[in-house]
Structure 1
Amino acid sequence: MNLRRLGAIVLKELRQLRRDRLTFAMIVGIPVMQLVLFGYAINMDVRGLHAAVLDQANTAQSREVVAEIGASQVLDFRYHLANPQELDRLLREGRISAALVIPSDFEARLQRRDRPPLQLVVDGSDQVIQASARQLATYPLPGWPHLTGIQLVNFYNPERLAPVNTVPGLIGVILTMTMVLFTAIALVRERERGNMEMLITTPLSPWELTLGKVLPFVGIGLVQVTVVLLVGRLLFEVPVRGSLWALYAAALLFILASLTLGVFISTLARSQFQAMQMAFFTFLPQILLSGFMFPFAGMPKAAQWIAEILPLTHFLRLTRGIMLRSAGLADLWLELAVLGAFTLAMLGFAVARVHKRLD
């Protein structure tokens, strides 16, 4: 082995890597992002769950208990309700994750100690919230040492089956990994083979060229949704309590959002390898910050703001709401609006990049 020739090859590769700024940035950026996300944003201690209070006793003692539980910082009481119907509506719309219900005979139950004096209702469509609620149900209240036996009521997943929580989220994760990657690599491959230049010479507008490349993958995404739903139903008995058409409409919008992100990546990448790197670069924050693997409420506010930009965050809320809470699209209109805005923004950026190439 000639070490001089070997050293020359190594030096050549290092120089080429230095000129390839995108690859060099990915080499540094991916480990930095992983370190920041795992070390700063990921927190298994849930705090600040959006919650409501239904105080049917409305006494000085009941208000004192609410203040004591609120001081634990696990629940953030944003709503004070007048009736159980409001509680059902807020849970179905996903605006709260838990609710503290104080019965009208609260003080009598404290004295008799024959029934739980408090009831904690939780959204069972999120497994992390279930675990936090079980901890909170045994949380000692310093001013109320005799207050024990908080009744935990698990809505939407009373048997606490893990697949019921994970399968709706897996639909979004699978679509994220396939749609973005397939689109980005396919378009870059077309450009490497010279086919893109041939298309540019045709009378196609940038919008027609971009949409024409995106739409064939929509059918692939819908097939994947169908496969996950069928397997989830047959193997794990995961229900679809809401409208199946609403679920497919939400999936269609999310597929378009993921595809436009892939198209935008393809306009930045110069090779299939770079397209793959950049696609994986978008997977990590979506999976970690969306609430699929770690509690959303446990993340710092800055991480939550970033997560609100990511399409998977909103699609998880849509699938869990429709499949498990029987929510309709009208109940989850905000999530649809954010996905639509993301799709239009990415499509606009991609078309602008394509137009630049045409010029």
Structure 2
Amino acid sequence: MNWRRLWAIVVKELRQLSRDRITLAMVIGIPVIQLVLFGYAINLNLRGLDAGIVDQANSAGSRALVMDMLATDVVAPTAHADTPQQLMAMIRRGQISIGIVVPADFELRRVDGRPVAQILVDGSDSTVQVAASQLAQTPLDSAAPDTRAPATSTPAQPRITVVGFYNPQRRSAINIVPGLIGVILTMTMVLFTAIAIVRERERGNMELLIATPLTSAELMVGKVLPYVVIGLVQTTVILALGIWLFQVPVRGSLLDVYLATGLLILANLSLGLLISSRAQSQFQAMQITFFVFLPSILLSGFMFPFAGMPKVAQWIAEVLPLTHFLRLIRGVMLRGASLWELWPDGLALLAFIVVMMAAAIMRFRKRLD
């Protein structure tokens, strides 16, 4: 073992790494990203869940009951309705996660010791059900009975019942399997197309493409279309296995499921093409893909509750296609909503596709340099 030669190799490798900006960014960036995401953005204690309120009693006691529930900061009032049916429609459309219903006979129920309110929960997200159960156990001492009600007996402590919809058994597979469609497509579609253009350069095929009359747009779209079919095949496999092995329901239209999936596939493919136009090698393309995949998994709401994240993390998550797809696929498959009812997230995916594809086409040049 010659230590001088060994040291020369070590110095050479360090210099090469210092010139590779992507690898250097991974060495420093991955620990920083993970530390910030897990320490700051990931929060299992849900706060500020979007809630709708129906107070049919409209008495001093019912208003105090609602105020006590809002004081826990678990829910934030974002919608008001006149009937529980309106709250259910809002939950199906994904506008709210929790509905609070106070019946008209609130005071009589309080005197009789019966449940005085109901919490309607979007059970398609199991973490919301846990937060609703904690909310129902919150002491509500300030909810005094209305002085206009006959005080025939000492009022009992208010009791609140929780009614979970779309996943009353709280089976984790029902929540996870639809999300896995988006996670798998994000991982595979971005990676496949991220190395597409780079592979052409490394194999020497770019010279042949340069000699053809293909435009940049034609080449990019032609690269994308085969992977759309692959993504739809992957979706079919995941759906079939989810229904067969885990009895995951498809309450909405199967066509809407595939349309939502198609939007995610195109979004990921356009992002992959943009990465491909930037990377100089297949290894670099895979490195950049990892930088995209890690925040998508952690911030989209697949692993950790979206509502528990600080506002800055939520703003970043709104840029990620997986965030909007999870809302679409869970809304269609688990809540039976239509794509038209979930149009804001569909529109966000369309905008992402247009921006990423345009950027990829502008960056790509049919040249070898």
Common fold, TM-score beyond 0.5?
Answer: yes
Query: Which residue identity does 2:28 align to in structure 1?
Result: V
CA distance in 1, matches of 2:124, 2:236: 20
Deviations 1:87-112 (A, max 9, x none): 12111110000010001111101001
SS of the residue corresponding to residue 219 of structure 1 reads helix
CA distance in 2, matches of 1:203, 1:358: 16
- Indicate yes or no: 2:186 matched with 1:176: yes
Match of residue 328, structure 2, among 311, 318, 322: 318
Match of residue 241, structure 1, among 228, 233, 251: 251
Deviations 1:269-311 (A, max 9, x none): 1111111111011011111011111111110000000001100
SS of the residue corresponding to residue 325 of structure 1 reads coil
Per the alignment, residue 141 of structure 1 pairs with 140
Per the alignment, residue 262 of structure 2 pairs with 252
**Is the CA contact (8 Å cut-off) linking 1:289 and 1:313 kept in structure 2?**
yes
SS of the residue corresponding to residue 154 of structure 1 reads strand
Match of residue 265, structure 1, among 261, 267, 275: 275
CA distance in 2, matches of 1:336, 1:27: 36
Deviation, structure 1 residue 358: 7.9
Per the alignment, residue 49 of structure 2 pairs with 49
Structure 1's unaligned 5+ residue stretches are none
Query: Which residue identity does 1:66 align to in structure 2?
Result: V
Q: Find the structure with the greater CA-based Rg.
A: 2
- Indicate yes or no: 2:111 matched with 1:101: no
Summarize the alignment of residues 1-359 of structure 1 with structure 2, pairs less than 5 Å apart.
1-113=1-113, 115-144=114-143, 146-355=156-365, 357=367
CA distance in 1, matches of 2:49, 2:367: 47
Structure 2's unaligned 5+ residue stretches are 145-155
Deviation, structure 1 residue 318: 0.4
Identity %: 61
Distance 1:142 1:200, change over 3 A: farther
Deviations 1:59-78 (A, max 9, x none): 12111111111111110011
Query: Which residue identity does 1:166 align to in structure 2?
Result: I
**Is the CA contact (8 Å cut-off) linking 1:125 and 1:320 kept in structure 2?**
yes
Deviation, structure 1 residue 185: 2.0
Query: Which residue identity does 1:345 align to in structure 2?
Result: V
SS of the residue corresponding to residue 70 of structure 1 reads helix
Deviation, structure 1 residue 136: 1.1
Deviation, structure 1 residue 27: 1.5
**Is the CA contact (8 Å cut-off) linking 1:232 and 1:238 kept in structure 2?**
yes
Query: Which residue identity does 2:58 align to in structure 1?
Result: N
**Is the CA contact (8 Å cut-off) linking 2:47 and 2:73 kept in structure 1?**
yes
SS of the residue corresponding to residue 18 of structure 2 reads helix
Distance 1:357 1:54, change over 3 A: farther
Distance 1:221 1:133, change over 3 A: same
TM-score normalised over the length of structure 1: 0.97
Deviation, structure 1 residue 196: 2.1
What is the alpha-carbon root mean square deviation over aligned residues? 1.4
TM-score normalised over the length of structure 2: 0.94
**Is the CA contact (8 Å cut-off) linking 1:138 and 1:148 kept in structure 2?**
no
Deviation, structure 1 residue 187: 2.7
Query: Which residue identity does 1:123 align to in structure 2?
Result: D
CA distance in 2, matches of 1:87, 1:210: 45
Deviation, structure 1 residue 140: 1.7
CA distance in 1, matches of 2:130, 2:198: 44
Deviation, structure 1 residue 357: 4.8
Query: Which residue identity does 2:263 align to in structure 1?
Result: L
Query: Which residue identity does 2:65 align to in structure 1?
Result: V
Deviations 1:223-264 (A, max 9, x none): 110001000000000010000001101100110000111111
Deviations 1:135-164 (A, max 9, x none): 111112242495343110001111111111
Question: Aligned residues, how many?
Answer: 358
CA distance in 2, matches of 1:151, 1:117: 8
Query: Which residue identity does 2:44 align to in structure 1?
Result: M
Deviation, structure 1 residue 116: 0.9
SS of the residue corresponding to residue 334 of structure 2 reads helix
CA distance in 2, matches of 1:103, 1:333: 32
Moved over 4 A (4+): 356-359
Deviations 1:27-53 (A, max 9, x none): 111111111100100001100000000
**Is the CA contact (8 Å cut-off) linking 2:194 and 2:275 kept in structure 1?**
yes
